[in-house]
Amino acid sequence: MACGVGSYFMKHAERKKYDPNAEVDFLELIGYSATGYGLGSLAGTLPDIIEPATDPNHRKTFHSLVAGAAVTWGTIKLVTDTDLSHEVKTAVAVTGASYISHLVLDADTPKGLPII
C-alpha cells in the first residue's frame, strides 16, 4: 500500500509542475493504494501459491535463488524501459519486490533456498 501512495504522490508532484493549483484526488489515491496492496499481497504469496507448503521440502524452482535472480533481472529490465508508463513501472516494481521479499524471508529459515 505504501508503494501505491508513494507512486500517487510522485504523479501528483509531476501534475503540480504544470498546474500549481492541482489538488489531491482522494479517489485516485485510494485506487493507487488498493492496487499497490493487492499486487504486493498477491506477489508476496505467489511462491507458496505455485509451490504450496505441503511438506518441509516444498521449496523447488519458484523458491530458488535462480528464480530470485530471474525476477530481479526482469523487474530491473522492465522498470528501466523508457517505453513503459510510470504506473506500469510502479506495478512491476511492487510485484517484483514483493516476490523477492518472500524469498528473502524463506532464505533465513533452517531449510534456506535451493539454487534451482
Residue 8 has pLDDT above 80, yes or no: no
DSSP readout, the chain? Answer: -HHHHHHHHHHHHHHHHH-TT----HHHHHHHHHHHHHHHHHHHHHHHHHS--SSTT---GGGSHHHHHHHHHHHHHHHT-TTS-HHHHHHHHHHHHHHHHHHHHHHTSTT-----
Per-residue model confidence as pLDDT tens digits over 75-113: 999 999 999 998 899 899 999 999 999 999 999 999 999
Mean pLDDT score, 20-42: 89
- Which range has the worst mean pLDDT, 10-19, 45-54, 81-90? 10-19
